[in-house]
Structure 1
Amino acid sequence: MDIDFQTPPVVNEEVVIAASDSVSEIAGMQHSGMPDHDYLATSAQITRETADIGVQTDLGMGEMTELLGLKTKSQNPDAVMMELFVQKVTSSDRNVKQYTGVPSKSILDGLFCVLDEASPNLKYWSGQGSAEEPYYQQNTQLKKSGPARKLSKFEEFILTLVRLRLAIFAFTLADIFGVSNARVSQIFTTWMNLMYHVFTPLLIWPSTPIIKKFLPKSFKCTYPNTVCIIDCTEFFIQKPRSPTAQSRTFSSYKHHNTYKALIGIMPSGAIIFVSNLWGGNTSDRYITKFSGFPDFVKPGHEIMADRGFLIRDLLLEKRAKLIIPPFTKKCNWGKGRRLL
C-alpha cells in the first residue's frame, strides 16, 4: 500500500481550540491552588486550615496578655530600650561586673535586697531637709505624692551603678531609661546617699590580732607590724561653673577637675577606711590629718604609704611609724636603677 508522507493529516480546528481552553483552565486551577470540587482538596490543605482555626480558637489568656504587652511596648520605644539594656547588664556575671563593678549577679541581687529592706518607701533626695520622713512614709496607707515613678527601684539601682562605674553622662542615661536629665541626677544622688548610710557602718577597723592573722607572707618577712596601707584616689568630675569651685577641684596631678578621697586597706586587701570627698586641689597631708584617720592609729602601728604622704610627724604624735617602701630596684641599664 502506497502512503503519501508529503500530505499532512486533516485536523478539525474547533477541536484544537476547545482542547487548548481546557488545558488553560486546568493550569489556572493548579496555579491558584483551588480545586474545582471539595473532594479534590488534598489532606495537606485540610490539615493547614484546621491548624489555623485551632490557633485562632485555642489562644489562652496568657498568650493574649503577652501579645497585648508586646503591642504596648511597641508603642513605647523608650520602655523597650530600657528593658533591653537592663536585661543586657544583668544577663551574666561577666556583664554585671563590666557594667556595675559588682562581681556577680547573685551579689548584685543581694545588695539590692539589703538596700530595699533598709528603705522600702524610698523618697527622692531634694536637699538636706528631704531626709526627713514625709507623711506618706509615716502612714503606709497613704500613697506617694506627685507623679508615679517611671522606673522600678531595681532599674534605678542599675542606673546608679552603671553611672558610678562607667561615668556615663546624664543625658545618655536619660535617653536609655526614657527619663529627663534632672531625674537621672536626682536618682543618682538619692541612691548614693542611701548606699552611704547603709554601707558605711560595714567599714570596721579590725583589731591588731585580726590584722596579723591575715597578714600575707611577704609582709610577715619585711613589714610585720603594718596594719594599714593608705593612698588617695581621685574621681573625674565635670568642670564646675563657679571659678572658686574650679580652683578647689582642679588637680595639678591629673590635670582635670576631680574629687579626692583617702582609702585605707589591710595588707590582705580588705578596705577598712574611706574618707569624705575633698577637692582635687587638696593635699594628701591635709586630707589625712582632717579625715579622722589618725583617730584609728594606735601606738606601735606601722602605716604604709608612698612618697607623697608627708605625715611622719602626724604619726609620731601617735607613737606610730610611717613605712615608705622602695620604689626602685637595681638594673643593668641607664643609671643602674629602675622604678618598680
Structure 2
Amino acid sequence: MPRTPDAKGHVPFGEHRTWYRRTGELTGARPALVVLHGGPGSTHDYLVGLADLADEGWPVIHYDQLGNGGSTHLPHAPAGFWTPRLFLDELDNLLDALGLRDGYVLFGQSWGGMLAALHASARPAGLRGLVIANAPASYPLWLGEMRVLRDRLPPEIDEVLLKHEAAGTTDSREYFDAMMVFYSRHVCRLDPWPREFAATFLEIYNNPTVYYTMNGPSEFHVIGTLRDWGVEDRVADIAVPTLLLSGRHDEATPATVQPYFDRIPDVRWEIFENSSHTPHLEEPDRFRRVLLDYLEERV
C-alpha cells in the first residue's frame, strides 16, 4: 500500500483551487518528484503507488489537474478555456506555492508526459530530471497508430465502434463494451483492474468535462481540441536527463514515442515487455527498479 501522505490540501490557482498531496519531507536532500497524471481529465489515483518512493528519500507530490478529482470542477466552462497553456500555468503555480522551484523532477504519464515535456522545453532552472511515461509526442501520431491498433481488433468489434462513432452514439452501452476490448489490450492488461486504476477510470466518466472537450469519448476516437496538437517541435530544447517509459502493448506505440528519443539530447528508453499503457501497475517491480536506477544515477 502507498504511504500515508504527510500533507494534503489545496493551493489557490486564480479563482480556483488545485488539490495536492505530499508524501515525504521536503528537506532539500533530494528533489521532489512531481507527478502529472494523464487524460486530460483524469486524476492522480492510478499513480498513487509512486508515493512509495518516499521510502527511498524521494518526496512525491501528486495533484489533480483543474477540472477533476479534488480540484475545482468547472462543468460549464467553454471549450476554449481548456488549453495546454492553462495546465502549464497550473503546474507553475503549484511549483511556486509548494516552494519547489529550487529542485524538482517531473514524472508525466500519457497526456501528463506531453505536458511535462512542454514544461521542460522552457528549461526552468530548478528542473533536475524528466520522466515521460506512455506518452505520444503528438495527437496526429497517436491517431495514426490508433487506426493500426483498431485494425487488429476482431472485425465485429471495430464495426460496432465505427457504427456508434458515425452515429454520435458513443455514450451507448454497446460502444462502451466494444471500447473495453481495446482497453483490455492496450490500456491495462490486468484482470481485474487494480482498484486505483478503476477509481481513476470512474472519475473520468463521472465528470467527463475536460476529457470529452480536449480528447473525445474514448482513447482512440480523439475528436476534441487536442486532435491536432503535439510537442515534437519543442522537445529538442529539453536540457535535463530524460527517461522514456512505454509498454510493448501500449496504445502509445513506439512510433508515437520515437520523436522524444530522436530529439531529446540526453535520453534513455525502457520498454516493458509485459505491459500496455500502465507498466507501473502491470510490472510494478521492474518499473520501480528502472525508475529508482534513473533517479539514483542521473538526478
TM-score by length of 1: 0.24
Structure with more of its chain in strand, by fraction: 2
Larger Cα-atom Rg: 1
Q: Normalization by structure 2: what TM-score?
A: 0.26
Question: RCO greater where, 1 or 2, for CA within 8 Å and sep 6 or more?
Answer: 2
> Which has more helix, going by share of residues?
1
